[in-house]
Structure 1
Amino acid sequence: MGDATPSEETELGAACCQLFECSMRNEAKRLRTFRQWLGTSPVSARDLVKAGFFFVGPRDQVQCFCCGGVLMDWRPGDCPIVEHLKFFPSCRFICGEDVGNQEMLPLQEIFDTVDGQFLSLLQGIGSEETALPNEPEHPEMLTEEVRLSTFRNWPQYTDIHPEQLARAGFFYSGQGDVVRCFYCGGGVRSWSFGDDPWREHAKWYPGCDFLLLSKGREFVSSVQESFSSTLLSPFGGFLFSFFGKDESRMSTEEQLRRLQEEKMCKVCMDRDVSVVFVPCGHLVACGECALNLRLCPICRAVIRGSVKTFMS
């Protein structure tokens, strides 16, 4: 796609100024406002985004980026586009005018335009395997180049190179040594000498589709076998197998660090884990963060319920 001419840029700028919320003309950005959207809602966040809405709250209140119209109290059978046209028939976006809406690329197209290793992988596997279920959590961080640019203030005390982290899908959060995956949104911190970003990615977030397509299921499975994390046992109790065969030779200090990581919420990277997700059984989030999750950060399974836990 070529550059816009001066006249086209002027027209686009004028149209943008007439929008209620110009910053929300990007569908991916609107989608990110729905992180607290209830999975039990009768209307999907994606359908609302396509209809021009972004989430404002409270409850299920949404607003159009173009006309500013607000809708709420969604019911089973409601169609966001139809409801938008019904209550705000003069909205230029819903009437089909070009107001500068920026659509999200289909996942296949997204992955064909990013990292080289992704493209070669996609060319070698069938379409059924590439039917990924979710959009990236941070679509603005799709390319390795953009992710690498976030590491300008990466702390000097860590031995992990930004190039390694960016290649493994991570971008810098700007806090301490916390990095997050652009696709699954998973965070990792407390990096030590010798840590491999790909292995840490596979250890904590084995269900990440970017990871699986980049490294393969065999790699992820081997990492999971080496590093056991806190799991819900089939008998209703908890299995705390913190140190695998590769960790038995670690120093006491390193073992303590690993233990603290196991207990840490994988979302806020601050509070201790305290909620088990149902039905997958993963114990990876604190009570506050669990309220805002629709998918398990580990396996990406839909969360149907949760159980509060207490560690003695």
Structure 2
Amino acid sequence: MGDMIPAEELEPGAASSQLFDPSMRSEARRLRTFWQWPHTAPVSARDLAKAGFFFVGPRDQVQCFCCGGVLMDWGPGDCPVAEHLKFFSSCKFIRGEDTGNQEMFPLQEIFDTVDGQFLSLLQGIDSEEAAPQNPEMVTEEMRLSTFRNWPQYSDMHPEQLARAGFFYTGQGDVVKCFYCDGAVRNWSFRDDPWREHAKWYPECEFLLRSKGREFVSSVQEAFSSTLLSPRDSWDQTEQDSSALQDESWMSTEEQLRLQEERMCKVCMDRDVSVVFVPCGHLVTCGECASNLRLCPICRAVIRESVRTFMS
């Protein structure tokens, strides 16, 4: 059961009739404060944010944006709404009064507003399947707000990334999809966020329902054409020789693109050197391949890995 902290121990004004922290009226913003909340906690961060709480710490201490009430020591079976009402029954928010609380959009509404034309796209999808990995980033506005420290050296516009479902992680130029949690980095001015999303995370439900299966399939087909199949990977002498001859007349931009395609898509450091069986994707170096159970491209189970050599 959550334990309360006496009102006299709160900061002055916590028990006033005004909102304790107006900046936390947004449920999505409250949820963002729980980024260090353990997944094994007996009470979910989403339920706490919905009940008006944001994380303040230490341990599992949370506080109401409206009344300033603090609860901690949560246990199995605790209901944040019930505990809130039990210890802070005079709280206007928990009593249902208008406090300006901004609820998070339901998933249906989110998809309905993407590009203004995707109506009723979530019908028939299992609710568990439809749950985004980063629910606090479901709105494009919230994702865009994370790009405040986006590196100036990047040629990629944050608006494009946010529209494609990505938010900034704060590290280098690494972004993640709010829905599938897929990460992408090393952006260049030629990149299209939607295509990169489709290239690396083709099963993302947000991507599929925003751009369509046909778009994703076309990107995958174009991308797969640059990869080697297992059957072709065991003897590459002639092919590699021809490739080297072709490179002599390639433009600098094309050579850079080819170099990028040969780079391991996990560590982005070493060259690709392992083909996964049975899917046939060649996307990682030997060191990274040893740590994978599923292909990072198609998510197929890796039954066997075949070593290849590229000159």
**TM-score, length-scaled by structure 1:** 0.58
Q: Which residue is equivalent to 1:111?
A: 111
After superposition, where does 1:36-185 map in structure 2 within 5 Å? Answer: 36-116=36-116, 119-120=117-118, 122-123=119-120, 125=121, 127-129=123-125, 131=127, 132-134=130-132, 136-142=135-141, 147=144, 158=155, 165=161, 167-170=163-166, 179-181=175-177, 183-184=179-180
Q: CA RMSD in A?
A: 4.5
Letter in 1 for 2:267: K
Letter in 2 for 1:201: H
Q: Which residue is equivalent to 2:191?
A: 195
Q: CA deviation at 1:83?
A: 0.9
Letter in 2 for 1:262: V
Distance 1:253 1:53 in 2: 48
State which of 201, 205, 209 in structure 2 corresponds to 1:209: 205
Contact 2:110–2:139 (CA under 8 A) maintained in structure 1: no
Q: CA deviation at 1:106?
A: 1.2
Q: Which residue is equivalent to 2:274?
A: none
Distance 1:222 1:174 in 2: 31
How many pairs are equivalent? Answer: 238
**TM-score, length-scaled by structure 2:** 0.58
* Secondary structure class of the residue paired with 2:63: strand
Q: Which has the larger radius of gyration?
A: 2
Deviations 1:203-257 (A, max 9, x none): 34445332121234565466567469xxxxxxxxxxxxxxxx9xx8774885368
Q: Which runs of 5+ in 1 are unaligned?
A: 1-15, 229-244, 266-272, 285-297, 300-312
Contact 2:29–2:136 (CA under 8 A) maintained in structure 1: no
Q: Which runs of 5+ in 2 are unaligned?
A: 1-15, 226-238, 248-253, 270-287, 300-311
Letter in 2 for 1:133: A
Q: Which residue is equivalent to 1:7?
A: none
Contact 2:28–2:136 (CA under 8 A) maintained in structure 1: no
Percent identity over the alignment?
62
Contact 1:154–1:177 (CA under 8 A) maintained in structure 2: yes
